[in-house]
Amino acid sequence: MKSLRQILLSVCMIMALAATAEQPDPVIASINDAYQQANESMKKNKGMGSEMVIDFGYTVRGKGKSNEKLHFYYTTVQGTYWLAEGDDRDPHFFYYPLYFVTRDYNVGKQKFHEEYLFDNSSQRLVFALTQDYDEKGKRFDRRFYFHEGSVYHVEGPAATEFEQECVGYQAEELRHAFDWIIRNPKE
């Protein structure tokens, strides 16, 4: 009788675990939907003016010439804001929320690709895709899912805490560079 109860309990636990495993994580599902929508929007609006491309080259010591291409996708929001306490509103304010960045570059003969998805309203990083090489020279993808400002989940080879921090840092630097360039186009 005891063994029958244990078997039934084990079966119930296995079924509960299987049912839980089948349910997609709502945070990851939401980010995947946003990623898919961003890709569709970029394809649909290609060449429509809400993108900025920067190409540049440089030399990496010991590796030779490198080329880098940054592609920023953004929206344009017109609004108003207060100039200062007691001033009138300025109706000519434009805000440029960044929603997607791609970065393609090479170091020597190795080519790299990165993607960064930002939340349109909070401007927080929500997703990053990086491509890298393992010690044998085989290329791999790693997907970082962010929630409330920190790494929520990583798909692909395990990432160290330092690698996770680097992805967040890189995304913030790209976002700041975009903000600076879009506000200072003549410099």
Q: What is the pLDDT of residues 38-88, one digit of tens each?
A: 888 888 776 566 888 999 998 888 888 889 999 999 887 765 555 555 555
Answer yes or no: is 12 within a domain.
no
Q: What is the pLDDT of residues 14-37, one digit of tens each?
A: 665 555 556 789 999 999 999 999
Answer yes or no: is 6 within a domain.
no
Answer yes or no: is 18 within a domain.
no
Answer yes or no: is 37 within a domain.
yes
Answer yes or no: is 7 within a domain.
no
User: Minimal CA–CA distance to 151: which of 177, 132, 169?
Assistant: 169
Answer yes or no: is 16 within a domain.
no
Answer yes or no: is 100 within a domain.
yes
User: Minimal CA–CA distance to 157: which of 170, 171, 138?
Assistant: 138
Number of domains in the chain: 1
Answer yes or no: is 11 within a domain.
no
**Are 168 and 154 in contact, with CB atoms under 8 Å apart?**
no
Q: Which domain holds residue 47?
A: 25-183
